[in-house]
Amino acid sequence: MKNKALTVLSVDLNSYKTHPPLLVISASAEMAHGGYLRAYLVPYVYITPPIDGIWDFDFVGEYPDNGVRTDVITIAIAEPFLWKDYPRGVRGIRIHGSLNKLTRLISQKSEVLFSVDGGDLPRGI
């Protein structure tokens, strides 16, 4: 069973100047219950790209099908979303929870140059 996070706490962006370019999106949020199996970001589907260049995602937690979960607010860290070859017009990311949303813009500080040894790349790439 999937539930949207209650409150998004943080959003971090890292833009890698690889070929193709890579944007790594990380986020944390408060979940309404404990016992989730995994937390991840779900991108909105657009027919045309957003005019403001801010792309939206939901922060979602997945719970066991047997319904076992605790009634305690828990902090979850989403699996990093690896967006390969993201569109040029992307200016930022907005992550939605049930009670709030948090927006981060891609800045010069978030850009990482590709290193020859791959040391600057996140794991799994």
Domain ranges of the chain: 2-109
Tell me phi and psi for residue 71, to 5 degrees.
-90, 60
Q: 33, exposed or middle or buried, with CB in 10 Å at 0-12, 13-18, 19+?
A: middle
pLDDT digits (tens, 9 = 90+) for 68-103: 677 888 899 999 999 999 998 999 999 999 999 999
**pTM flag (> 0.85):** no
Residues 44-57 have a mean pLDDT of 96
How does DSSP classify residue 5? Answer: -
pLDDT score for 113: 52
